[in-house]
């Protein structure tokens, strides 16, 4: 089953709950597939309590079963799903915000990486903008207008700052030999970037 985020979960829970209430056949593994570990543990505990209850309190009729609090495994499943659906609906606002933020970050990365790569090749700003929007189109994302680029640049700066902090922490944990190798690699990449910049400048001249 593909991984679900919080925006898909309520709908899937509601569908499975409807199947359970309609007395349709649902495999135990499918029941557990949409629940968290904590929800599964609570459901299993409820069924364990039912088994213990049946040993202590005997019932001869369906009416006595209800009076004594007996529940079928399906009823336990239904209660677990009703609770899970309620919790999922409460969390959907946060899930939507998180999904939107992930999409915005991805779009910003794709656009800005393509834009600055085009600029490094010596292309004019408008050409770089078109190239970046083409990359967004390939990724099935909305195009960016010029007014959005300032906000995206600020977002890129924030992400770059976070990456700088992470890289600094990694450097602290490196051995002297590892650090030396990393610095040699970074120097090599800087030389390659300079070469690309010069080549792009020559290509841009008439």
How many whole angstroms separate alpha carbon 70 and alpha carbon 59? 9
Residues 90 and 107 in one domain: no
> Residue 157 is part of which domain span?
102-204
Residues 43 and 62 in one domain: yes
Residues 137 and 152 in one domain: yes
- End position of a domain, from candidates 57, 74, 99: 99
Residues 42 and 89 in one domain: yes
List the pLDDT tens digit at each of the 206 positions of the chain.
444 555 578 888 999 999 999 999 999 999 999 999 999 999 999 999 988 888 877 777 888 878 888 889 999 999 999 999 888 877 666 666 676 677 777 887 888 888 888 888 888 877 887 888 888 888 887 766 655 555 656 666 666 676 676 667 767 777 788 778 778 877 877 777 777 655 555 445 44
Residues 158 and 186 in one domain: yes
Please check whether residue 2 lies inside any domain of the structure: no
Residues 121 and 193 in one domain: yes
How many CB atoms are located within 10 Å of the residue 96 CB?
13
Residue recorded with tokens 């599964």? 40
Quote the pLDDT of residue 99. Answer: 66
Q: By C-alpha distance, which of 66, 78, 88, 64 is closest to 24?
A: 78
Residues 89 and 116 in one domain: no
- End position of a domain, from candidates 63, 80, 99: 99
Residues 127 and 58 in one domain: no
Residues 106 and 195 in one domain: yes
Dihedral class, residue 86 (left if φ above 0, else alpha if ψ from -120 to 50, else beta): alpha
- End position of a domain, from candidates 57, 78, 99: 99
Please tell me the total count of domains within the chain: 2
Please check whether residue 182 lies inside any domain of the structure: yes
200: CB partners within 8 A, 6+ apart: 120, 121, 122, 123
């Amino acid at each position: 089953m593909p991984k679900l985020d919080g925006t898909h979960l309520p709908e899937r829970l509601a569908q499975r709950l409807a199947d359970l209430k309609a007395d349709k056949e649902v495999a135990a593994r499918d029941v557990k597939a949409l629940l968290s570990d904590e929800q599964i543990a609570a459901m299993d505990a409820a069924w364990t309590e039912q088994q213990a209850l049946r040993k202590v309190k005997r019932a001869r009729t369906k009416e006595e079963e209800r009076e004594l609090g007996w529940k079928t495994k399906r009823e336990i499943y239904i209660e677990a799903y009703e609770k899970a659906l309620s919790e999922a609906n409460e969390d959907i606002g946060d899930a939507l915000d998180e999904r939107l933020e992930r999409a915005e970050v991805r779009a910003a990365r794709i656009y800005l990486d393509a834009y600055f790569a085009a600029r490094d090749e010596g292309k004019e700003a408008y050409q770089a903008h078109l190239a970046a929007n083409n990359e967004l189109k390939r990724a099935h994302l909305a195009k960016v207008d010029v007014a959005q680029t300032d906000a995206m640049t600020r977002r890129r700066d924030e992400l770059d700052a976070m990456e700088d902090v992470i890289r600094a922490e990694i450097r602290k944990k490196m051995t002297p030999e590892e650090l030396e190798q990393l610095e040699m690699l970074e120097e090599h990449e800087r030389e390659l970037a300079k070469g690309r910049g010069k080549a792009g400048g020559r290509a841009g001249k008439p």
